[in-house]
Structure 1
Amino acid sequence: MAAGGTGGHLFPAEALARELVARGHDAVIYTDARGARYAHALEGLPHVVLPARSLAGGPVGKLAAATTILGAAWRARGDLRRRGAVAMVGFGGYPSFAPALGARACGLPLLLHEQGTRLSLANRQLLRFASGVATSFADTGGLAGLPPGRVVETGNPVRQAILDARAPYPPLSADGPLRLLVVGGSQSAAVFGRVVPPALRLLPASLRARLRLSLQVAGDDAAAIANELASAGIDAEVRPFFEDMGARLRDAHLVLTRAGATTIADLLAIGRPAIFVPIPQGGSADEQLRNARTLEQLGAGWCMPEAELDASTLAARLQSLLASTDTLPQAATRAAAAGRPDAAARLADAVLALVTRGRRPA
């Protein structure tokens, strides 16, 4: 497995690696120094840390990146041969370049896995070397012209901790508690820290009294925000990070979050509705916006671009959703129907089928 240094790339690679190991196969993950920081994901799995560099920048930067990538590809090639590897699965991110190129230099089949609704830049550039592509969504963009036989829809593998938390949607009554989970990652959660508290204060007192809020906020403002929410009669737990994300997703009636591919896979696997606030990227790089729109079209959530997010608009949306006893359960049902809790197994099947085809005599 070759994966970029973010959780969005590394967690699906981890899920596939553990599935293959459970079936009696050996697996190794190639990543960069950022990916190696996810020690809990890599625990017990062989992994190789390679230097990586983006191709962005001017001629000098591109030359330096090419030198780094070629050097890392040479190292990956040697390591793959030493291990007797039979296939490579690339999960995107520029750190996946070198291992993928090293695998092709060894003559190994390369399967690309795309977590989002459109091929990422890294996967688009590696597509010419790929033996096949595994997608998370049926209508994945960027595959025009590719023979259908080289594309398989597997879904996006999720961590075992998420799968272990799967449970029916929690009962929702007209006067019972309303569990709202707000998460956005260590950096992108800042906008939620600014907008969510004033939005919740605008809700009717009857709704505020029923709220059970889990709010992720990075920085030194957590205590002040918690006090602010308590003064508005809102039962809130404010933290920079939640270790028990599976349990919190399981218990949530509604989630407010970004629209990264791994976040979406987790939500669909458990079957929980969400308000998606995509990270604004702009132009053809608006991957999260496409993800959020896809889930909105499926009826599994609602898209609120960050440019349109303020306290009053968020309060209006929350009041509309939380005041109904039908809307959220219906969206949860659609989310669960779109989920692929067996994605790691399906992807492992695709990898082993690719290896088997490669071993057949011409």
Structure 2
Amino acid sequence: MPPAAARPTIALAAGGTGGHLFPAEALARELMARGFGVVIHTERRGAQYAQALAGIEHVVLPASSLEGGIAKKAQAALTILRAVLSSRRDLKQRGAALMVGFGGYPSFAPALAAKSLGLPLLLHEQATRLSKANARLLRFADALATSFPAVAGADGFDAAKIVETGNPVRRAILDARGDYPPFDTQGPLRLLVVGGSQSAAVFGRVVPPALALLPEALRHRLQLSLQYRGEDADALVAQLRGAGIDASVRPFFDDMGDRLREAHLVVTRAGATTAADLLTIGRPAIFVPLPHGGSREEQRRNAQTLAQAGVGWHLDEAGLTPESLAEVLREAFESPTRLPDAARAAAALGRPDAASRLADAVERLLARARSG
């Protein structure tokens, strides 16, 4: 291996949400450990993840989605052009050798800037379908790394240039890996309910009454961790404890890795990063995809794919009621095999070495570009 100083700089493009930035962070730290220089091109929202970016060179670019009417698209095009020019200047100044794009509209301009300089472009897709940004950039890509064995939207792309790496996860998640907790008919039942970085108000409305519908024997074994930001959190705790349920309700859990490791079952959204965390640790889940917004289709497909793989259940929010949730929970908790089997299915799909595999893909593409 050449000395660290001789290794080039690799640029990564990610932003918007933690779902795009956290995998970029994981790859950045793996590449830095291998002696590469690294810079992340992001935008304002991505730059707010200060802890993820700590110690990593990064550039904040203007960003805008191309969604909307003609006037909005014209304004967005100007914003993207400014971002392309800024990104291009930075890439030239650093002598960057390759760009890795992680999807989301903030990655669009840096990817175009890299291609305008003749740099190889590796796209990483976290979900089971190409994001809009990755789908638009695919024609410029030299390689595609995926998180799942099959990814919709990549039809026509050279199969020899596609590699399944998995979705890189944070160090806290890797450190939380461990055996599925003991599960029997007498011990505690640890249920973790989280709704992503913004939490999910629907879980606060549906989960407490759903748990109250469970048989008394199950309720008294439950240990609930519920992420909830509502002002009525104290009332929810009183409601849950009145039903005989040991409950912790907080707006945010800063020990998420530990809680995932200890959980028998998770109720959650179906974002790609959430899925990667669960698979890496090997925990079953009830997936409730976002009901609207740009991530709706992506999350629905993720939930369907994971449910079909035996990792858990898929419930649409439109049909999420206390009764429907209670039925699934009762089925899960009363079966001696359903949850342990789902945990094994999750672990089988996990890729704890995803950051290393993606860094290997970067090195292969870099070597191919230099030899060609």
Using the size of structure 2 for normalisation, the TM-score is 0.95
Structure 2 residue 162 is the aligned partner of structure 1 residue 151: yes
- Give the gaps of 5 or more residues in structure 2: 1-11
CA contact (8 A) 1:253 1:272 kept: yes
C-alpha distance after superposition, 1:91-123 (max 9, x if no partner): 011111111111111111010000000101010
RMSD over equivalenced CA pairs, Å? 1.3
Q: Secondary structure at the residue paired with 2:190? A: strand
Structure-2 residue corresponding to 1:139: 150
Q: Which moved more, 1:177-186 or 1:159-168?
A: 177-186
Q: Secondary structure at the residue paired with 1:325? A: coil
Cα distance in structure 1, aligned partners of 2:196 and 2:139: 33
CA contact (8 A) 2:180 2:283 kept: yes
Structure-2 residue corresponding to 1:121: 132
Number of aligned residue pairs:
361
Structure 2 residue 84 is the aligned partner of structure 1 residue 73: yes
Cα distance in structure 1, aligned partners of 2:197 and 2:91: 34
- Cα distance, 1:185 vs. partner? 2.1
Structure-1 residue corresponding to 2:114: 103
Structure-2 residue corresponding to 1:170: 181
Structure 2 residue 200 is the aligned partner of structure 1 residue 192: no
Structure 2 residue 354 is the aligned partner of structure 1 residue 352: no
Cα distance in structure 1, aligned partners of 2:237 and 2:277: 27
Q: Secondary structure at the residue paired with 1:28? A: strand
Cα distance in structure 1, aligned partners of 2:58 and 2:355: 19
C-alpha distance after superposition, 1:273-293 (max 9, x if no partner): 000001123899511111011
Structure 1 stretches of 4+ with a deviation exceeding 4 A read: 282-285
Cα distance in structure 1, aligned partners of 2:240 and 2:91: 54
Cα distance in structure 1, aligned partners of 2:135 and 2:237: 44
Structure 2 residue 256 is the aligned partner of structure 1 residue 232: no
Question: AA paired with 1:93?
Answer: G
Structure-1 residue corresponding to 2:9: none
- Cα distance, 1:58 vs. partner? 1.2
Q: Secondary structure at the residue paired with 1:27? A: strand
Cα distance in structure 2, aligned partners of 1:44 and 1:107: 28
- Cα distance, 1:66 vs. partner? 0.6
Question: AA paired with 1:55?
Answer: L
Structure 2 residue 18 is the aligned partner of structure 1 residue 2: no
CA contact (8 A) 1:277 1:306 kept: yes
CA 77–282 in structure 1, closer or farther in 2 if over 3 Å, else same: closer
Structure 2 residue 327 is the aligned partner of structure 1 residue 319: no
Structure-1 residue corresponding to 2:102: 91
- Cα distance, 1:332 vs. partner? 0.3
CA contact (8 A) 1:53 1:68 kept: yes
Cα distance in structure 2, aligned partners of 1:344 and 1:357: 20
C-alpha distance after superposition, 1:308-329 (max 9, x if no partner): 1100111111011111221100
Using the size of structure 1 for normalisation, the TM-score is 0.98
Q: 1:34 aligns with which of 26, 30, 45?
A: 45
Cα distance in structure 2, aligned partners of 1:280 and 1:26: 40
Structure-2 residue corresponding to 1:204: 215
CA contact (8 A) 1:195 1:311 kept: yes
CA contact (8 A) 1:89 1:111 kept: yes
Structure-2 residue corresponding to 1:13: 24
Q: 2:141 aligns with which of 124, 130, 133?
A: 130
Structure-2 residue corresponding to 1:220: 231
CA 50–282 in structure 1, closer or farther in 2 if over 3 Å, else same: closer
Structure 2 residue 71 is the aligned partner of structure 1 residue 60: yes
- Give the gaps of 5 or more residues in structure 1: none
Cα distance in structure 2, aligned partners of 1:136 and 1:104: 24
C-alpha distance after superposition, 1:128-153 (max 9, x if no partner): 11111100011100111111111111
Q: Secondary structure at the residue paired with 1:87? A: strand
Q: 2:271 aligns with which of 239, 260, 264?
A: 260
- Cα distance, 1:4 vs. partner? 2.4
- Cα distance, 1:74 vs. partner? 0.6
CA contact (8 A) 1:162 1:270 kept: yes
- Cα distance, 1:307 vs. partner? 1.2
Q: Which moved more, 1:183-192 or 1:169-178?
A: 183-192
CA 342–214 in structure 1, closer or farther in 2 if over 3 Å, else same: same
CA 52–284 in structure 1, closer or farther in 2 if over 3 Å, else same: closer
Structure-2 residue corresponding to 1:23: 34
